[in-house]
Structure 1
Amino acid sequence: MPYALFVDERQIGPGLPTEAAVWKQALDASLISDLPVANEAGGAVLPARYHVKEIREEFCAPDPAWRLPDEIS
């Protein structure tokens, strides 16, 4: 499952394959100054209201047999 960066409940970044990729994106965007490390003491890493969470991307492939009508009445 991909992950993305959110502010409140609005997704502000693209879906990326790993949580680490989202953290790197936040670092590149200067939202954080250093990547979080699992063994460090807790504390807010992202600014208030920002968070990383797993997303569910849904893709819908069109039916190959479907075609637009030749005429519209």
Structure 2
Amino acid sequence: MYALFEGNKQIGDPFPTEKEVWEAALIEGLVSDVPVADEGRLVPAGYHVERIDEAFEPRPGWKLPREIS
């Protein structure tokens, strides 16, 4: 399973693949494009996708931001 993290805190639901995490972030407007191996990541500083061994519930009421300021 993979999930989106802000720093060291999981902020999104887990997905079976890293690709699905990026797609969810794209749909929510967090990224403008999914990462391409040779182009690097297109996410705001502090955000990353990480493999997880067990799923944790995201913070109650937390939603991905629609815009990054």
Letter in 1 for 2:54: E
Q: For residue 35 of structure 2, what is the aligned residue in structure 1?
A: 36
Q: For residue 20 of structure 1, what is the aligned residue in structure 2?
A: 19
Give aligned-pair identity as a percent: 51
Question: Which of these two proteins has the greater Rg computed from alpha carbons?
Answer: 1
Q: For residue 54 of structure 1, what is the aligned residue in structure 2?
A: 51
More displaced, 8-17 or 29-38?
29-38
Q: CA deviation at 1:45?
A: 1.1
RMSD: 1.4
Q: For residue 7 of structure 1, what is the aligned residue in structure 2?
A: 6
Superposed structure 1 runs of 4+ greater than 2 Å apart: none
- Count residues in correspondence: 55
Q: CA deviation at 1:11?
A: 0.3
Give the Cα separation in 1 of the matches to 2:39 and 2:19.
18
